[in-house]
Amino acid sequence: MKNHYQQTRFLLGTPDLRSAPADTGAEIAFAGRSNAGKSSALNVITSQRSLARISKAPGRTREINFFSVKDNLRLVDLPGYGYAKVSKSMQKQWQQHIARYLETRQSLVGVFLLMDIRHPLKEFDQLVLRWCCAAGLQTHVLLTKADKLKRGAAKAALLQVRRQLQVLHPGSSLQLFSALTRDGTDAAREKLDDWLGITAEDLTDSAVE
């Protein structure tokens, strides 16, 4: 399967939305608790070794980081939530920025919510699902680090989370993902392609460019 995300590059980071890129085109946000595997997933999906390292640089971790896939199509790395070294009041502030972003961003077409398959649907995850539901945003869940469980256990976890999602955010979708084995990468890219409206024709265009 063709990967449309190889040319993805860092655009800018901003703590609130003041210096965000123009709110036009389409973008997909990646949300998750710290350590959920968000950076690893972004790197694997874009086939870049250190794209998301930028988001981890000191000072950038609390920013909303924008990446350009191609003209007016973006991936957005939201601040990871739950990092122990950050004060409660700081976390509260990030929460507000994330909530505001999800509620107001016109070009946002959907949210990828990443959760460690062994610790799904923690408080923050449920909060994000509620915000997405309220904002009418489609949501796709990646159950990350699927390699940490045996196949049967991973499948059972998937079914369990699927049941809970049907209550928390009906209509949302989910899949297993592993940055280590790369399982689920094609499925994740297909979902991104679908939401961003990237088709085989776009592929021909970029091949010609």
Residues making contact with ligand GDP (CB under 6 A): 32, 34-40, 80, 144-145, 147-148, 178-180
Q: Cβ closer to ligand GDP: 67 or 70?
A: 67
Looking up tokens 């122990």 gives 84
Pick 64 or 198: Cβ nearer ligand GDP:
64
- Of 25 and 120, nearer to ligand GDP (C-beta) is 120
Whole-number minimum distance, CB 83 to ligand GDP, in Å? 8
DSSP 150: -
Nearer to ligand GDP, 134 or 153 (CB): 153
Task: Determine the 3-state secondary structure of 139 from DSSP.
Answer: strand
Q: How far is the CB of 185 from ligand GDP (least distance, A)?
A: 10
Where in the chain does DSSP place strands (E)?
Answer: 9-14, 26-32, 64-70, 73-77, 108-116, 138-144, 173-176
CB of 62 to ligand GDP, least distance (A): 13
* Closer to ligand GDP by Cβ: residue 157 or 198: 157
- Cα–Cα distance, 17 to 181 (Å, whole number): 35
Q: What b/e sequence results for 135-147 when a residue is b if at least 16 CB atoms lie within 10 Å of its CB, and e otherwise?
A: eebbbbbbbbbbb
The least distance separating ligand GDP from the CB of residue 173, rounded to whole angstroms, comes to: 19
- The candidate with the shortest Cα–Cα distance to 38, out of 18, 48, 52, is 52
In the complex, least distance from residue 106 CB atom to ligand GDP, rounded to whole angstroms: 26
Count of residues in the chain: 209
